[in-house]
Amino acid sequence: MTNYGIRNLYKIKNINFLETEVGDKYVLEEIKKKNAIIGGNHQVILL
């Protein structure tokens, strides 16, 4: 869950942005699936 301002800023800056269901499990799954360099959640906890 991310607010509209963050989504919009990333779009304006042409930054790739992925959103998942709430929970570390889903964030980690998406990081692995997309081979993401960095990921985290709305509380700015990086995995």
Q: Would you list the DSSP string of the chain?
A: ---HHHHHHHHHTT-------SSHHHHHHHHHHHT-S--B-TT--B-
pLDDT on residue 1: 57
pLDDT at residue 39 greater than cutoff 80? no
Q: Average pLDDT, stretch 1-21?
A: 84
**Which has the higher per-residue pLDDT, 15 or 39?**
15
Q: Residue 39's domain spans which residues?
A: 1-47
* pTM of the predicted protein model: 0.57
When divided into structural domains, the chain yields a total of 1
**Which has the higher per-residue pLDDT, 22 or 45?**
22
pLDDT on residue 16: 82
